[in-house]
Amino acid sequence: MSVTIQFCGAARTVTGSCYLFQTPAGRMLVDCGMFQGSKTLKALNYGAFPFNPADIRVVLLTHAHIDHSGLLPKLIRDGFDGSILATRGTIDLCSYMLPDAGSIQESEVAVLNRRNTARGRDEVSPIYTQADATASLAAFRPVEYETWVDAMPGVRARYWNAGHLLGSASIEIEFSGAGHEGAPLRVLMSGDVGPDAKLLQPDPLSPSDLDYVICESTYGHIDRPEITAAARLAHLAEQVRAAHAVSGPLLIPAFAVERTQELIFDLVDLMESGDVPAAPIFLDSPLAIRATEVFRQHASALNDGIDVARALSSPHLRFTETVPESKAISRFTGYHIIIAGSGMCDAGRIRHHLKRWLWQKSATVLLSGFQAQGTLGRILESGAKAVRIQGEEIKVAARIVTLDEYSGHADGPELTRWIAARRPIQRGVFLVHGEEPAMSGLAERIAERIVPAANVFRPILDDVYELTTALPTPLDGKRRRRLMPEAVVALDWHNEMSELVLDINDRIEAAADDRARGVIIRRLRRALDAPQ
């Protein structure tokens, strides 16, 4: 019995999680997520899948984050008519997150098409609409943790709490008769593994004695200091007090689900204890507001000691769901806090707040999670002096700080311990969902100490492997390269163009006089007119 896996996303990059299993009984997906980052990478969301959606019998979904679930409506629109198996928490979150993603696409495409019409360019269509996303919810089927479920003939799956997000799971999969001497082939998909001592989620769980582990590596090269609840609160309080000291706003680009709720709980605690000055906390994200209600409904699934109702009823917290309410925040000056999506600053209302405040020294921007290559968040984190937002050049004078204690991902030592606890691992570990430094760092940690170096694999986008051989065998003839490896990880020409435009503007403004400016412009013109 042959079982193959194709890495259709999250290979040498963090986003776009999607893994295609082929068995004699048919095809199955684990996750179907959106790519985020550079425009070249995001263009994959608009292109054809590297498989026929109508051939997929079932989807196993690890969790609700858009880089794992975000292309499910497109999958269904393009022909998939099977079931999507997910935990109840994941289904409840997706019921808001997927329609929100469709709405964002429609609104952003509407803006782009107005620009395209003015420039004489062709109009474009959204990846999918809000209606497509809403219709896709009918395909979801709930599963319980630690309970076997038949996925398709010859394949069963069991979900384990991954400690990453409400409803998140690592998925254990057994392929009947595909292992050694007719035993089941046992594969574990890590999903995203939560860190130790996460505020809202329990520590991750998973089985051992496996043939393969496909493991995320987002922070595989990072060693964080030990994080305690007291240390996390102290570091957040330090940044809040710093914002208050300069009488400016604290802008927090936050992932709408879990990260936002964790920040709310801690900010409310700090204000009510008097550790930081009280201030209005604007939750300026319709999705985060709806997701917060899901957390209220699932309060019993969260860590003990979290008083969800108290935090979410705080008088300091202000929900701004409508566009007029969001715009009204701009009238506030001085010290206040704005939490808005998106977490990587690539879309959503946070971009409007950044345009309003990024050029002012009194503002603080607090990055609270992973920033993918090519995103505005990564560019700010890297120390850019100016950025382009919605076609406008914005000087960066605000203080940019990173607080990693709220990360939803395990770091290198935690991932290493998690993999070690899965032993024995008979055939191999595939490292996915990470950029090159992270995968290399995690590979060095586990090679020889946990599994032989020859059993550690770092697949490239669209790689296919046979899993029933003694070691996984790459099937070169079946590769369909949508992007070459260097294009997956590098800043693309869109990023380079933005940087070039900013550099040209700086150089011209810094020139001594109009004559010097004219010299620069003529040199640029000659370079453009030169034969290619």
pLDDT at 11 over 60: yes
Could you give the 3-state DSSP secondary structure of residue 105? helix
| Nearest to 195, CA basis, from 415, 10, 17 | 415
76-90, 145-159, 295-309, 419-433: which has the minimum mean pLDDT?
295-309
CB 207 within 8 A of CB 422: yes
Task: Measure the CA–CA gap between 372 and 350, rounded to whole angstroms.
Answer: 16
Distance CA(36)–CA(249), nearest Å, equals 27
Q: What are the b/e assignments for 427-454, b being 16+ CB within 10 Å?
A: bbbbbbbbbbebbbbbbbbbeeebbeee
Q: Which amino acid is at 197?
A: A
Token pair for 286: 């319709």
Reduce the secondary structure of 32-74 to three states and give it as a string. CCCCCCCHHHHHHHCCCCCCCHHHEEEEECCCCCHHHHCCHHH
Strands (E), 362-463: 364-367, 386-389, 392-395, 399-402, 425-432, 456-457
Q: What phi and psi values does residue 293 have, to the nearest 5 degrees? A: -65, -35
Percent of the chain clearing pLDDT 90 (strictly above): 62
Query: What's the distance, CA 488 to chain centroid?
Result: 15
H helical segments located in 210-330? 229-245, 259-273, 286-297, 308-312, 323-328
Strands 4-7 and 464-466: antiparallel
Q: What percent of the chain has pLDDT over 70?
A: 95
Judged against a pLDDT cut of 70, whether residue 238 lies above it is answered with yes
CA atoms in the 13 A half-sphere facing the CB of 389: 25
CA gap 279, 250 in Å, rounded? 10
* Residues 308-314: contacts with CB under 8 Å, at least 24 apart: 308/265, 310/268, 311/264, 311/265, 311/268, 311/269, 312/264, 314/268, 314/271, 314/272, 314/281
| pLDDT of res. 478 | 56
Mean pLDDT, rounded, of the chain: 89
Select the more confidently predicted residue: 369 or 224. Answer: 224
CA-closest candidate to residue 319, choices 287, 363, 343:
287
Of the CA atoms within 13 Å of residue 44, those in its CB half-sphere come to 31
Residue type, 421: A
Give, in order, the Cα–Cα distances in Å from 42 to each of 72, 127, 369, 526.
Answer: 16, 11, 20, 33
Instruction: Flag whether pLDDT at 107 surpasses 80.
Output: yes
Could you tell me which CATH class the domain 4-222+408-489 is placed in?
alpha beta
Q: What pLDDT is stored for residue 490 in this prediction?
A: 59
Write down the domain spans for the chain. Answer: 4-222+408-489, 229-406, 493-529
Q: Judge contact between 12 and 461, C-beta under 8 A.
A: yes
Strand, coil or helix: 127: coil
Q: Give per-residue burial for 89-125: e unless 16+ CB within 10 Å, then b.
A: bbbbbbbbbbbbbbbbbbeebeeebeeeeeeeeeeee
Distance (Å) of CA 514 to CA 287, 393, 502, 505, 520: 50, 22, 19, 14, 10
pTM of the model: 0.84
Residue 191 has pLDDT above 60, yes or no: yes
| Mean pLDDT (whole number) for 236-242 | 95
CA distance 434 to 444: 14
Of 53-67, 70-84, 389-403, the range with the lowest mean pLDDT is 389-403
Strands in 456-457's sheet, in edge-to-edge order, are 149-152, 155-161, 169-175, 185-189, 210-216, 425-432, 456-457
Contact assessment for residue 332 and residue 280, using Cβ atoms and an 8 Å cutoff: yes
Contacts of 308 (CB under 8 A, 6+ apart): 265, 295, 296, 299, 302
CA dist 32 and 9 (Å) reads: 8
Contacts of 369 (CB under 8 A, 6+ apart): 254, 255, 259, 343, 344, 406, 407, 408
CATH T-level topology, domain 229-406: Rossmann fold (3.40.50)
Closest by CA to 134, choosing from 159, 109, 106, 112, is 106
Tens digit of each residue's pLDDT (9 = 90 or more) over 34-61 = 998 888 888 899 999 999 999 999 999 9
pLDDT 10s digits, 255-309? 777 888 889 989 999 999 999 999 999 999 888 888 888 887 887 777 655 666 6
Over residues 92-118, the mean pLDDT reads 88
Environment class of 225 (CB within 10 Å of its CB; exposed 0-12, middle 13-18, buried 19+): exposed
User: If we measure between CA atoms, which residue out of 473, 424, 477 comes closest to residue 452?
Assistant: 424
Q: Is 322 helix (H, G, I), strand (E, B) or coil?
A: coil
pLDDT band at 497; cut points 50, 70, 90: low
Q: Which two tokens stand for residue 416?
A: 């290493």
- Contacts with 227 (C-beta within 8 Å, 6 or more apart), sequence order: 195, 196, 197, 405
